[in-house]
Structure 1
Amino acid sequence: MKSLAITLLCSVIWFLAPTTTWAGEAKPNILLLVSDDQRPDTIGALGNDAIETPNLDRLVREGTSFTRAVCANPICTPSRAEILTGCDGFTNGTLDFGRKINPDLTTFPEAMVRDGYHAWYVGKWHNNDRPKDHGYEESRGLFGSGGGKWWKDQVDWKGRPITGYRGWIFQDDDRTKHPELGVGLTPNISSHFADAAIELIGREREKPFFLHVNFTAPHDPLIMPPGYADRYPPESMALPKNFLPRHPFDHGNFDGRDEQLLPWPRTKAGVKDELAMYYRVISHLDAQVGRILNELDRRGESDNTIVLYTSDHGLAVGSHGLRGKQNMYEHTIGVPLIVRGPGIPKGERRDAQVYLRDIYPTCCELTGAAIPASVNGRSFAAVFADKEKEIHPHVFGYFRDAQRMIRDDRWKLIHYPKIDRVQLFDLVHDPNELRDLSDDPRHAKTRARLKAQLHEWQHQVKDPVLAQTNATKD
């Protein structure tokens, strides 16, 4: 009886202890770092010899990089909602820009809190309501709306008036404004986000933390980071291999704000200028990531923290004649994704196709937390041990009612419903998507197969575009 009582007591202690996993080891912290508008090809250790990203390079060396990670919807609001809910935009209610997240879904922080975690938020909030309304216990360095009076006569690095983000300002959970810390989407506030993250990591606590840091960099308006003016001389910048003066047709966003930031036609000099500034902002962001990683080191918590680095989507910056993010090309639909932590292979790469929404269930599996039934993302934890090579045989992309995309292990098909135009790319032999093979009779079967699979998926998710276009037949 005595041994039975001891066994039962140990079982109760195990069940109640918030910092233990099923194996009895300390639960790992989770640090999720998300940049804004960062192309997947802007990390030195992943093949970009022109950019300086020593801290992201460190994560690449110490973790596993996913080379075919994608966002599903290349706009800030729905893409961040995908991370927050573990669901696609058809399910979470954010298919179009600015719509509210389905309140019936269990969010990422809610799942972590249920599993005994602190859930903290830092940085840009670009979804409805406030972080606390979606499960975060506390926000620090919150960058939300409501600061118009503080924004006056500001210009970007080229002296162009900044008019699009007058409402963004540092504030507390109680909406107290701190304009001295940052107004507008400027790279300078990245250091303040790092300050907030470091403060939270340094707290005394009895539970592990889930810390979600959303940076604003390298989103426009691009403003010179202090001390970076001499970095990346524009004349030394290489143009993207898929640079074009103008996209060959209106992809559905020619009149959008992003595309108006560079004059038509795009010039080589203009794109080099933009890329140089873009790289400066990314290098400044990288330095802030380094500060946060160093704080984990200083506290001796690096070995027990899962660090994930990604972005909400990429950006064109002259590729394919575009400037913005509202497109289905690899430079934009693709995102960087690096995972470092206990049990994660070091210095390795995986080509499994994964979505941003898969981060949520993956973290649940890695920490032993239950994956809520509302999540339709898939864990890619098995990929680390090479138990699975493939998570999604096909991934799909969508931008409003203007673009739909399907991609498999080799091919990509993009459909533009409004003009009923199709593009087909062989990504193995044409990774820069320079040769549209949609009219090549040798690839007619591939085109038909992908178009049919795309339509099947659209039916499954009840895509409203099907009703609008009457399911245009190929």
Structure 2
Amino acid sequence: MKEESIKKQLAERPNVVFLIADDHRGEAIGAFGSERLQTPVLDSLVASGTACRNTHIFGALTGAVCAPSRACVHTGIPLFRATIGKDMTNREHSSVIRSDVRLMAQTMREAGYYTHAVGKWHNDKGSLTRSFEGGAKLHFHGMSDHTQVPVFDYDATGKYPKELEYMENTFSTELFTNAAVDFIEEYQEKRPFFLYAAYTAPHDPRTAPEPYASMYNKSDVKLPPNFMPQHPFDTGDMVVRDEKLAGWPREEDEIRQHMADYYAMISHLDAQIGRVVDALKEKGIYDNTLIVYTADHGLAVGQHGLMGKQNLYEHSVRIPLLFRGPGVPEGKQVRALASNIDIFPTVAGLCDVDLPAETEGSSLQPVLTGEITGIRSVVGSVYRDVQRMITDGQWKLIRYYRSPITNAGTERIQLFDLCNDPWETQDLSEDPSHAGTIERLASELVTWMQDCGDILQDKAVLPVTS
């Protein structure tokens, strides 16, 4: 009788298709007002689901923001407690997920879901092995040329010896989509599935295939209001790899070409996601599938004179987060503050799956359904030992440090009014009338850093003026 009850419960749960992109910033979807950016499939998911427009990454202690950010998504736990480094005292290399925490896919697997992984897994192989029962075209690197993609077939032992890695020449976005579509078409089990499909697009090299490569002419691309030839001060990581992708100072024409190429990668990705959606519809399971779309972080591409994601401006820390499927209202966009550690709890809530006790994120489900207006009063982000951020949704404080390791960086703060200055062009930190706001946010930052176990919590707010 108990076994029949479990089978009935599983049968009532939706399938899950969890899609995660690399470098896709929060506003870069046509439905969000990017008129020149063509994303009809993502637009349709926004129209038929709910978009969480104010979701931020927790951050990273390394220039490769991908890996620690994905660890936060997988575990629903702050970076400082989700990962270990190459040893227990080194958190600079935050790719290894602690073996004593359960991941989103692992939790779904334990709840009876068949779990299957496709594409990029920039964390340790052990965490993938305990999470997934199957997989295909697994990419364990941070990036690659999109037409030379080193991949593994799924290995149940979790060993993945280097000699079994092989090269694929199909464009990465199509390669991973092919594997996801094959899984959907071939799936025969009666229990629901959790399909995790992780793309390396729109990460550079931004070399979209035709006709997408020619879809955007740089002469038609409008520079954003916060374009700058160079950043006004040392952020602490000014010569990281990403920042070398364009010349100094930034030239308008070169940045327009980067933006055109970035848009082309996103439009190509959008079309491939459309193939996944079509496969669900052809299988007759679209309406009983929860589709989640997000990214590991955003990207500057010329904004604030920067090119990469190694900063805490909105273009780099705010990500898309779309839900579409059973239990999700249609055509809704919510502005509630959220962190990427809240994604796992939200997926679990929508699937009626119990969370592990160690999970620290909060479910956005009651926000989606309108029961409450928010789950957080503030949200913060970190970058290495040189930047910290806190925002209450209107006001945003960024705290910069000089690194004791590299001696790079600047001891200062910035204050932005996001409601009136969403592009973060006017630093109000030197305006005496905002001293009270700075003091309040500085106190919030101290509390947030202490709560999440930040390694810099003893240096949280000094100085509180720029």
TM-score by length of 2: 0.90
Q: Counterpart of 1:4? A: none
Deviation at 1:354, TM superposition (A): 1.3
Matched, 1:448 2:439: yes
Q: What pairs with 1:11-22 in structure 2 (closer than 5 Å)?
A: 12-15=3-6, 17=7, 20=9
Q: 2:75 aligns with which of 42, 67, 85?
A: 85
For residue 161 of structure 1, what is the aligned residue in structure 2? none
- 1:279 and 1:323, CA in 2 relative to 1: closer, same or farther beyond 3 A? same
Report the Cα distance in structure 2 between the residues aligned to 1:100 and 1:180, rounded to whole angstroms. Answer: 26
Q: Does 1:128 align with 2:124?
A: yes
State how far apart, in whole Å, the 2-side matches of 1:452 and 1:284 are.
Answer: 44
Alignment of 1:341-380 (within 5 A): 341-380=325-364
Letter in 2 for 1:409: G
Whether 1:141 aligns to 2:129 is: no
Mapped to 1, the partners of 2:239 and 2:366 lie a distance apart of 43
Q: Distance between the aligned counterparts of 1:345 and 1:459, measured in 2? A: 36
Change (3 A) 1:155 1:105: closer
Identity of aligned residues (%): 38
Matches within 5 A, 1:308-457: 308-418=292-402, 419-457=410-448
Partners of 2:340 and 2:79 lie apart in 1 by 12
Whether contact under 8 Å (1:240, 1:319) holds in the other structure is yes
Aligned CA distance change for structure 1 residues 412 and 134 (closer, same or farther; 3 Å): farther
Structure 1 contact 66–351 (Cα < 8 Å) conserved: yes
> In 2, are the aligned partners of 1:131 and 1:139 still within 8 Å (CA)?
no
Shift of 1:457: 1.9
Report the equivalent of 1:41: 27
Secondary structure in structure 1 of the residue aligned to 2:416: strand
Secondary structure, aligned partner of 1:215: strand
* Partner residue of 1:26 out of 9, 12, 16: 12
2: CA distance, partners of 1:471 / 1:332 = 22
Alignment check: 8 A CA contact 1:98 1:128 kept: no
Of 48-57 and 126-135, deviating more is: 126-135
CA distance 1:362–1:316, shift in 2 (3 Å): same
Indicate how the Cα distance of structure 1 residues 53 and 333 shifts in structure 2: closer, same or farther if over 3 A, else same: same
The CA distance in 2 between the partners of 1:471 and 1:131, in whole Å, is 35
2:166 alignment partner AA: H
CA contact (8 A) 1:252 1:402 kept: yes
Shift of 1:473: 4.6
Q: 1:53-452 alignment to 2 at 5 Å? A: 53-73=39-59, 75-93=65-83, 96-129=92-125, 132-145=128-141, 169-174=150-155, 175=160, 176-181=164-169, 188-202=171-185, 203-418=187-402, 419-452=410-443
Q: Call closer, same or farther: CA 1:155–1:83 in 2, change over 3 Å.
A: closer
Using a 3 Å threshold, how does the CA distance of structure 1 residues 473 and 382 change in structure 2: closer, same or farther?
Answer: same
The CA distance in 1 between the partners of 2:200 and 2:54, in whole Å, is 23
The CA deviation string for residues 430-449 of structure 1, in whole angstroms up to 9 with x for no partner, is 11111000110000000011
SS of the residue aligned with 1:38? coil
Deviations 1:320-367 (A, max 9, x none): 110000111111110011100012111111011111221111111111
CA distance in 2, matches of 1:215, 1:306: 18
Offset from partner CA, 1:261-282 (integer Å, 9 cap, x none): 1111001001001000111111
CA distance 1:101–1:131, change in 2 (3 Å): closer
After superposition, the C-alpha distances for 1:379-408 in whole angstroms (9 at most, x for unaligned) are 111112110101111001000101100010
Tell me how far apart the structure 2 counterparts of residues 326 and 30 of structure 1 sit (CA, whole Å): 31
Q: Alignment partner of 2:109: what SS?
A: helix
**Distance 1:359-1:461 versus aligned 2 partners, 3 A rule:** closer
Larger radius of gyration: 1
**Match of 1:411, as an amino acid?**
W
The one-letter code sitting in structure 2 at the alignment partner of 1:170 is: V
Evaluate the alpha carbon distance shift between residue 146 and residue 471 of structure 1 in structure 2; reply closer, same or farther with a 3 A threshold. Answer: closer
Deviation at 1:428, TM superposition (A): 0.7
In the TM superposition, what is the alpha-carbon distance from 1:230 to its structure 2 partner?
2.2
Report if the CA contact (8 A) 2:121-2:128 is conserved. Answer: no
How many residues are treated as equivalent by the alignment? 439
* 1:235, distance to aligned residue in structure 2 (A): 0.8
SS of the residue corresponding to residue 387 of structure 1 reads coil
CA separation in 2, counterparts of 1:426 and 1:471? 19
On the 8 A contact 1:78/1:96 being kept in 2, the answer is no
Report the CA distance between 1:146 and its aligned residue: 11
Deviation at 1:48, TM superposition (A): 0.7
Report if the CA contact (8 A) 1:44-1:51 is conserved.
yes
Amino acid at match of 1:404: R
- Give the conservation status (yes or no) of the 8 Å contact 1:34–1:309: yes
TM-score by structure 1 length? Answer: 0.89
Rounded to whole Å, the distance in 1 between the matches of 2:142 and 2:59 is 26
Quickly say closer, same or farther: Cα 1:129–1:12, change in 2 above 3 A.
closer
* Letter matched to residue 26 of structure 1: E
Q: Which amino acid aligns with 2:398?
A: I
SS for the counterpart of 1:20 is: helix
Compare the two structures and name the one with the higher strand fraction: 2
Q: Deviations over 1:294-334 (max 9, x none)?
A: 00000111110000111111000000110000111111110
Q: Which residue of 2 aligns with 1:52?
A: 38
Secondary structure of 1:105's aligned partner? coil
Q: Deviation of residue 155 (structure 1)?
A: 11
In 2 relative to 1, CA 179–146 (structure 1 residues): closer, same or farther, beyond 3 Å? farther
Amino acid at match of 1:277: D
Q: Quick one: distance in 2 between partners of 1:40 and 1:69?
A: 8
Distance 2:54 2:34 in 1: 16
Q: Distance in 2 between matches of 1:198 and 1:42?
A: 25
Report the Cα distance in structure 2 between the residues aligned to 1:351 and 1:98, rounded to whole angstroms: 29
Deviation at 1:255, TM superposition (A): 1.4
Q: Which stretches of structure 1, 4 residues or more, deviate above 4 A after TM superposition? A: none
**For residues 146 and 230 of structure 1, do their structure 2 counterparts lie closer, same or farther at Cα, with a shift above 3 Å needed?**
closer
